[in-house]
């Protein structure tokens, strides 16, 4: 009599009403919370056993609000376009700009408000990546390249003048870019890079030469017209020692800077543009476009890689959560062998229960690390690597089980999980291969010697 039927009425009223197609939840999701678990007064949040976990994933009111806001945005604007842009293998630049000042205001998530950012922390980074990936990991990857590899890097390593010069436009979404580290012949062996910049004392600048590979947001157009993204941080050799690497800002339109090719036919992340970028005697002004110390870029790299890896691990959480939602939804509705749903079958139970447990383990690891990560320092490498190592594989496994539970349907694009499965694979490669995490983690663990872990 009360709510159940009431809801039916509202749905109908909405359906027949003129104009808007569906009842929008809009920002009503904002600040919304699940009230307490069964057995307690449902209005009393304080007595809830799950409180500690919820407050781990949403450490403050703002995190909770940010998550709700994103869920609304994702449901309304990201989800409806995901399948199409994946199929066509093109980047949705208009939607991306809505993440900036004209909409969500999350492109400068970690940047000081003085430079046009929101001044939030690592946990907020995880919230955003988790929520965007829930619908469209490829779109989220473009966000990661921009907001972490470019924006957060500049914000952490740039000078006051550089932040004033570059950050407002990239935080607002007027300019979109990324970061250039990998090369055709140097990936995990990052310091094996060949790109180099020679100082020209007369011109007071560096001459940059080389080729960078797998650059997310490397191009923003979809027709391989040779145009580049707007702004990049580029790592290049500047000295004799292996670690003599410097970080530069390279902007669209600089002479000698071009897009070699848009890389097509990727397994996953197809709605995110990936390109090869070419630097042919590009002149870089020394006083404005060198970020951090000359030959000091390994420090910039380390500082930024930690949050990048955490962001990628959070993307894996979004993939896993969506896969779980899809498989449990399907399992509840599909009948087989005379049973009204698939939950009756032990094999399916195993898929779902193990997926949930692994997802929650990953989620606790990611937010546990995020909640203690200070973005201005470094030294959490072991766990930044660890979260990504664990979560990337976990998300691929969970997506895989989702496909298995859903059978033929799971194998088809319309049912989402096959796309998530393909996207998840990238997380085992991009931002550090599984093998590079093994290497880094064992280096750190070995250094501990016989000191017991605590």
Q: How far apart are CA 280 and CA 277, in angstroms?
A: 10
The residue among 39 and 449 lying less far from other proteins, judged by its C-beta, is 39
**Nearest-angstrom CA–CA distance, 143 and 128:** 9
Give CA 446 to chain center in angstroms. 30
Beta-carbon contacts of 220 under 8 Å, excluding residues fewer than 6 positions away, are: 91, 93, 176, 227, 229, 230, 273
- In 3D, which of 262, 225, 395 has the Cα closest to residue 317? 395
Strands 177-180 and 231-237: parallel
Residues binding other proteins (CB under 8 A): 1-10, 13-14, 17-20, 23-40, 42-43, 45, 61-62, 64-66, 69, 72-73, 103-106, 109, 118-120
306 is annotated as an active-site residue:
no
Catalytic residue (one of 308, 326, 418, 428): 308
**Smallest distance from other proteins to CB 64, Å:** 8
Nearest to 352 by CA among 393, 387, 320: 320
- The Cα–Cα gap between 155 and 376 comes to 9
What DSSP line would sit under 262-273, residue for residue? E----SS-TTS-
Nearer to other proteins, 18 or 447 (CB): 18
Q: How far is the CB of 78 from other proteins (least distance, A)?
A: 12
If the CB atoms of residues 57 and 232 are measured against other proteins, the closer one turns out to be 57
Cα end-to-end span (Å), the chain? 56
Q: Which is nearer to other proteins, 32 or 344 (CB)?
A: 32
414: helix, coil or strand?
A: helix
Of 100, 177, 190, nearest to 145 (Cα)? 177
Q: How far is the CB of 50 from other proteins (least distance, A)?
A: 8
CB of 76 to other proteins, least distance (A): 9
**Closest approach of Cβ 108 to other proteins, in Å?**
9
Distance CA 198, CA 185 (A): 21
Q: Under a CB-based contact definition with an 8 Å cutoff, are residues 151 and 167 in contact?
A: yes
Q: Between residues 167 and 300, which has the closer beta carbon with respect to other proteins?
A: 167
Angle between helix axes 137-144 and 417-426 (nearest 10 degrees) is 30
Question: Cβ(171)–Cβ(100) under 8 Å?
Answer: yes
> Among 250, 240, 241, 236, which Cα is nearest to 300's?
236
DSSP class of 329: H
Active-site positions read: 308
């Amino acid at each position: 009599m009360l709510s159940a039927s009431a809801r039916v009425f509202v749905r109908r009223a909405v359906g027949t009403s003129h104009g808007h197609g569906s009842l929008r939840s809009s920002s009503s999701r904002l600040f919304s919370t699940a009230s307490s678990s069964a057995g307690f007064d449902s209005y009393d949040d304080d007595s809830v056993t799950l409180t500690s976990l919820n407050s781990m994933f949403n450490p403050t009111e703002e995190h909770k609000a940010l998550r709700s806001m994103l869920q609304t945005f994702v449901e309304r604007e990201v989800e409806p376009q995901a399948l199409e842009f994946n199929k066509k293998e093109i980047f949705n630049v208009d939607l991306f700009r809505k993440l900036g000042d004209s909409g969500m205001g999350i492109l400068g998530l970690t940047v000081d408000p003085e430079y046009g950012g929101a001044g939030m922390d690592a946990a907020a980074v995880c919230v955003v990546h988790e929520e965007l990936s829930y619908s469209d990991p490829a779109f989220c990857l473009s966000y990661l390249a921009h907001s972490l590899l470019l924006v957060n890097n500049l914000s952490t390593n740039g000078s006051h003048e550089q932040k004033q010069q570059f950050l407002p436009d990239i935080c607002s979404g007027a300019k979109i870019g990324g970061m250039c580290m990998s090369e055709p012949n140097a990936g995990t062996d990052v310091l094996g890079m060949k790109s180099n910049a020679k100082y020209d004392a007369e011109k007071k600048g560096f001459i940059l030469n080389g080729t960078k590979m797998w650059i997310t947001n490397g191009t923003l157009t979809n027709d391989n017209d040779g145009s580049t993204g707007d702004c990049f941080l580029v790592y290049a050799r500047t000295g004799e020692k292996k670690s003599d690497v410097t970080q530069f800002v390279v902007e669209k339109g600089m002479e000698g800077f071009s897009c070699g090719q848009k890389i097509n036919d990727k397994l996953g992340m197809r709605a995110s543009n990936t390109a090869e970028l070419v630097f042919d005697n590009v002149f870089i002004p020394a006083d404005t476009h060198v970020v951090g110390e000359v030959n000091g870029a390994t420090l910039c790299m380390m500082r930024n890689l930690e949050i990048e890896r955490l962001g990628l691990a959070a993307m894996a959480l979004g993939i896993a959560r969506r896969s779980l939602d899809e498989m449990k939804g399907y399992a509840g509705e599909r009948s087989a062998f005379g049973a009204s749903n698939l939950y009756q079958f032990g094999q399916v139970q195993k898929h779902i229960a193990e997926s949930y447990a692994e997802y929650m383990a990953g989620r606790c690891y990611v937010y546990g690390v995020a909640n203690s990560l200070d973005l201005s320092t470094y030294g959490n490498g072991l766990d930044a690597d660890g979260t990504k190592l664990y979560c990337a594989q976990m998300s691929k496994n969970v997506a895989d089980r989702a496909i298995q539970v859903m059978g033929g349907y799971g194998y088809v694009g319309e049912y989402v999980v096959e796309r998530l499965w393909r996207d998840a694979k990238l997380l085992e490669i991009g931002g550090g291969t599984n093998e590079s995490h093994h290497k880094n983690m064992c280096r750190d663990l070995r250094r501990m010697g016989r000191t017991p872990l605590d």
